[in-house]
Structure 1
């Protein structure tokens, strides 16, 4: 049986530099940066393990849960560590090499489960390739190299990304990240790939213009004007390669959102009803039915998917609720998720089991293992729910001390 050991998982990436960054500067893995303000994290437990070994083990266990065979699982674990680069060798006893916007504890990996009634669960990985290299610009260039190497490995076309890469990967980018990769893991060892780009790469004041130019190059001339009002453009994402209906997706943030206005954010024709959208938000956030509230901590996100360049409205709508900021602990979040999954006719067992695959800790001892819960609608497909799961390679966010749920509106 093919399998991957911790040692095998931590082999050096074949397409990233060795112990130095471009220009000969030392790799940043030995220069930790401070964690973000306002986020208290429990101290890590000495483990003797590394980023690569930890995340590969989690991935293998999750692959087994969703029914992927050992050979495919091992190939995906190797691909994950190849894309991450030398940070896979970093001991977990040390602090994170760099701050990453991808997770609360700065692990450069996030997992997610996409679940719908009557179908097998789908496992995805979101990762920051070349994590820990040089400047943000250098990291972006190496991340792009990793994308192209993975694409060649699996014969995935990157032409859509190539058309717009200069807009999002300038020589001196701004913002909290340069380029992320998502892999949707399929039987057969060939995943479906997505690229996530930063609209603020040329500055937050240029985000709208950057996205408009990208949409023009990609032929989606009417997409931008169909978006709801937003405080911030968070991501532009592209489906790369062999998708049944490739999507271009725009993610928007809605700070201080009132729950009573959430249904106005959907621009998809034939999408979820206002009642369904409000019910999902209330249950995911712990807001009692019939009550209004303000999401005054981490903002709610929406994703607007476009498939037809000629269309004047999105073909998909996703509502992302940052549940870890509106719950006391992960047991409370899991209870909300189980209620939602049951409502949509989905067995919650695989989500429960996935949490045990990620960590042996008790759910009441932390919050953030489930980072987001999302409701997904796409034309021609049944509604899906997605749970975004944290690796917690470095640290665990302690249970919250403030009341759960958004701030009530009286």
Structure 2
């Protein structure tokens, strides 16, 4: 979970709480996004569109100065910035750029946050002429009168050439209480025609997210995210319901590389960057057809920031994972420079997650998740020695 607001000092590239000339959240993140668009090979026209969309989607919080603390304890990032970037890599082309954001991050309560999120998605639907019927079908499940949980709705934009993004929404299965999360996911899958999908899911410690592709997708997906605490590499690979023995071995290798091989060891961190416990590994199970109930995609997410002393180590692991997949690391290094001027060794959390995705009929994909760090930087962790 995110640390308390104000828990991390500001370092190079971040505004100071006493800096009267600090940019607004919208200006700061739009600048980061524009530079990332260049890394992803998007042209100037597309970059201008996407850099304008980001603050519009954030709403009034975009005009809030970074000299002020975060307006809420956003679960989306460690420093409560309601924005996260990711780059998806495959051999032979530029990375695909995505931005995840929380509309209504400054809402007074979860009800208002949910309404703000729905308004933002429906405004996009009108602007880009896509339907929200699948989301509408689930509104009573995920937006109850007295919602619970750390968030109501997140929205991800896949920034494509042409200025029209792919849109994804992430909903909270625990909105009616964590004890009802599994039933909520089961019912949501049933309503969308995936009657057999719930039984195809592996065991998990809790249901994290329920996600939908909206708009123009070749194969619109329904996705279920699960949390898994204290996994081994073999257990992590065993979560997949897609692919054969070769892919399972690839998942094991990825898991060991991303965690540095220490996932099975007890926590051994101390100092200002201490974590009370590592975040769980996440698995995502994508469903595209309703007849069989079989998952068509599997993604494993490793919270690399909880397995590294600093971002220098996390970046080395990301580079190694990319090279193992035959992907050049230069765009990732450029993306890091596009987001921050600090040295990787000065903090931990800039590289938040590493993910390996297998989609039936497609080559594997590596995704690197990059934090905005608009408000603060987590200090490096100290490794205890015997």
Could you tell me which residue of structure 2 aligns to residue 75 of structure 1?
Answer: 49
Q: Residue 127 of structure 2: which of 153, 156, 165 is its match?
A: 153
SS of 1:237's partner is strand
Q: Residue 385 of structure 1: which of 353, 366, 370 is its match?
A: 366
- d(CA) in 1 for partners of 2:265, 2:232: 6
- d(CA) in 2 for partners of 1:311, 1:183: 29
Could you tell me which residue of structure 2 aligns to residue 10 of structure 1?
Answer: none
TM-score normalised per structure 2: 0.92
SS of 2:154's partner is strand
Check if 1:320 corresponds to 2:301: yes
Q: Residue 198 of structure 1: which of 172, 177, 182 is its match?
A: 172
Deviation at 1:258, TM superposition (A): 2.7
Q: For the Cα contact (< 8 Å) 2:8–2:377, is it kept in 1?
A: yes
Segments of 5+ residues of structure 2 without an aligned counterpart are 268-276
- d(CA) in 2 for partners of 1:297, 1:352: 26
Check if 1:308 corresponds to 2:275: no
Could you tell me which residue of structure 1 aligns to residue 30 of structure 2?
Answer: 56
- d(CA) in 2 for partners of 1:39, 1:330: 20
- d(CA) in 2 for partners of 1:275, 1:62: 32
Could you tell me which residue of structure 1 aligns to residue 273 of structure 2?
Answer: none
TM-score normalised per structure 1: 0.86
- d(CA) in 2 for partners of 1:39, 1:53: 21
Deviation at 1:240, TM superposition (A): 0.5
Are residues 223 and 79 of structure 1, via their aligned partners in 2, closer, same or farther at CA, if it must alter by over 3 Å?
Answer: same
Q: Residue 110 of structure 1: which of 84, 88, 93 is its match?
A: 84
Q: How does 1:276-295 map to 2 (within 5 A)?
A: 276-287=250-261, 292-293=264-265
SS of 1:216's partner is helix
- d(CA) in 1 for partners of 2:236, 2:91: 25
SS of 1:58's partner is helix
The superposition leaves residues 4-23 of structure 1 with CA deviations (integer Å, 9 ceiling, x where unpaired) of xxxxxxxxxxxxxxxxxxxx
- d(CA) in 2 for partners of 1:287, 1:39: 32
SS of 1:265's partner is coil
Could you tell me which residue of structure 2 aligns to residue 174 of structure 1?
Answer: 148
The superposition leaves residues 382-407 of structure 1 with CA deviations (integer Å, 9 ceiling, x where unpaired) of 10000000000000011012359xxx
Q: Residue 254 of structure 1: which of 201, 212, 228 is its match?
A: 228
Residue-pair matches, total: 368
Are residues 366 and 260 of structure 1, via their aligned partners in 2, closer, same or farther at CA, if it must alter by over 3 Å?
Answer: same
- d(CA) in 2 for partners of 1:229, 1:63: 38
SS of 1:364's partner is helix
Could you tell me which residue of structure 2 aligns to residue 140 of structure 1?
Answer: 114
Are residues 300 and 403 of structure 1, via their aligned partners in 2, closer, same or farther at CA, if it must alter by over 3 Å?
Answer: farther
The superposition leaves residues 286-324 of structure 1 with CA deviations (integer Å, 9 ceiling, x where unpaired) of 117xx9546851110000000111123211000000000
- d(CA) in 1 for partners of 2:46, 2:5: 40
Q: For the Cα contact (< 8 Å) 1:182–1:195, is it kept in 2?
A: yes
The superposition leaves residues 17-47 of structure 1 with CA deviations (integer Å, 9 ceiling, x where unpaired) of xxxxxxxxxxxxxxxxxx7359941245235
Check if 1:275 corresponds to 2:242: no
CA RMSD of superposed structures (Å): 1.8
Q: Residue 66 of structure 1: which of 37, 40, 47 is its match?
A: 40
Could you tell me which residue of structure 2 aligns to residue 91 of structure 1?
Answer: 65
Could you tell me which residue of structure 2 aligns to residue 3 of structure 1?
Answer: none
- d(CA) in 2 for partners of 1:75, 1:383: 30
Which stretch of the first structure deviates more once superposed, 307-316 or 210-219? Answer: 307-316
Q: For the Cα contact (< 8 Å) 1:260–1:293, is it kept in 2?
A: no
Are residues 392 and 149 of structure 1, via their aligned partners in 2, closer, same or farther at CA, if it must alter by over 3 Å?
Answer: same
